[in-house]
Amino acid sequence: MLTILKYYSFQIKLYIWTHLRFIFKANGIILIYHRVRNTDNDINQLSVSIDNFEDQLVKLKNKFEIVSIDNLFKVGKTKKTKLAITFDDGYADNYLNAFPLLLKYKMPATIFVTTDYINTRRIFWWDVIEAVVYNDRFRKEYKINDKESTWKKYGEIHRYLKSIPEKQRQIIINRFIKEYKLFINIKMEDLCLSSAQIREMASSGLITFGSHTCTHSQLGRLNYFLQKEELKNSKSKLEKITKNIIEILSYPFGTIDDFNINTFRAIKATKYRFGISNSQDCVRTIDRIFHLGLPRILVRDWKSDKLIITLSKLLK
């Protein structure tokens, strides 16, 4: 009976969060970045150029009160709307390109790290998919000849690898790398952060860290014990590196299909305070009560004016 009650309590909260949240007042924003780098290859459009990122920071600082996530729900120092900056995955370019600018403008941010990749030469598995669909030999073999067919093949592989266990996924990823001779020359910015980089940023007082799990697996497809292991081990690793308590989790992929009631059980068991999603919305008054599904706004490689206009429309 207790299990049934917990299940329906979860369903009610989820329904309010997904269907009724828009009746509540918008009173804050969490931005989600992934990469800050200059590139022409970005199939998921998750990279923001260095110049655009700096311009965005300047405009954001003028328009909003920039705060850390744990200060979103505290009384503000100004009448400006509060805004928190976050990065998912934990790319080294967050340290190389974003961190100097955040220091320059004294703006706090939170970086969510996929911890199994720390201090390794491993490429994130979704980047291996991108590399393989742009590989000349692969494209010839699978008759990929335009943007549409490239995206279609990428999506097919990504959906499949996202759905399978990490060990099986890594076997396929390693096979791609070996078969198509990918990443012969690895750029540092394409790797995950190192322990030293994480420690330096954490010691700045501006950058806080959170978990993005160990393997960037789809939590909703894992049983409770595997989810708990992902959350516990990633939290422990980051706490050892930063010497700080890790209390915030960003769900990999971050849609409503990517976490479930077992995720919330695992969060409680591993003592996280916040769960951050990729649901495209402002923070609303309802989020003061339900901290395990905080929404974010995904930032593209936009000029700053477009970003400010986008955020202003969402706040209305």
CA–CA separation, 102 vs 207, rounded Å? 9
Q: Are residues 152 and 298 in the same domain?
A: no
Given this model, what pLDDT does residue 7 score?
A: 52
Residue located via tokens 């402002």: 282
**CB-based contact 240:216 (threshold 8 Å):** no
DSSP codes of every residue in 87-102: EEE-BTHIIIIIHHHH
pTM, full prediction: 0.93
Q: Which residue, 185, 212, 231, sits at the end of a domain?
A: 185
Q: Are residues 110 and 201 in the same domain?
A: yes
Identify whether 154 is part of a domain: yes
Q: Which helix (H) or strand (E) holds 112?
A: strand 109-113
Q: Are residues 85 and 195 in the same domain?
A: yes
Q: Are residues 228 and 197 in the same domain?
A: yes
- Residue whose C-alpha is closest to residue 235's, from 80, 108, 114, 148: 114
Given this model, what pLDDT does residue 1 score?
A: 57
Indicate which CATH number applies to the domain containing 75.
3.20.20.370
**Residues pairing with 32 in the sheet:** 86, 298
Q: Are residues 145 and 227 in the same domain?
A: no
**CB-based contact 21:284 (threshold 8 Å):** yes
Dihedral, 306, 311, 314, 316 alpha carbons, nearest 10: -100
CA–CA separation, 42 vs 16, rounded Å? 35
Given this model, what pLDDT does residue 185 score?
A: 85
Structure letter (DSSP) for residue 106: T
Q: Using 50 as the pLDDT threshold, list the residues of the chain that sit under it.
A: none
How many beta carbons lie within 10 A of that of residue 245, not counting itself?
10
CA–CA separation, 85 vs 72, rounded Å? 11
> pLDDT tens-digit profile of 256-297?
888 888 999 999 999 999 999 988 889 988 787 778 889 999
Residues with Cβ within 8 Å of 194's Cβ and at least 6 positions away in sequence, in order, are 92, 118, 119
User: Residue type at 233?
Assistant: N
Given this model, what pLDDT does residue 272 score?
A: 96
Q: What are phi and psi of 27, to 5 degrees?
A: -140, 15
Given this model, what pLDDT does residue 175 score?
A: 96
Given this model, what pLDDT does residue 76 score?
A: 65
How many beta carbons lie within 10 A of that of residue 241, not counting itself?
22
Q: Are residues 256 and 283 in the same domain?
A: yes
Given this model, what pLDDT does residue 213 score?
A: 97
Q: Are residues 83 and 170 in the same domain?
A: no
Given this model, what pLDDT does residue 50 score?
A: 98
DSSP codes of every residue in 34-75: -EE---S--TT--EE-HHHHHHHHHHHHHHSEE--GGGTTSP
**CB-based contact 28:296 (threshold 8 Å):** no
Query: Rounded to 5 degrees, what angle do the CA atoms 97, 98, 104 make?
Result: 105
CA–CA separation, 189 vs 35, rounded Å? 9
Q: Which residue, 133, 152, 185, sits at the end of a domain?
A: 185
Identify whether 304 is part of a domain: yes
User: Residue type at 1?
Assistant: M
Strands 248-250 and 65-66: unpaired
Identify whether 10 is part of a domain: no
Given this model, what pLDDT does residue 6 score?
A: 57
> The domain containing residue 228 runs over which residues?
16-121+190-315
Q: What are phi and psi of 124, to 5 degrees?
A: -55, 140
Identify whether 6 is part of a domain: no
Q: What's the domain count of the chain? A: 2
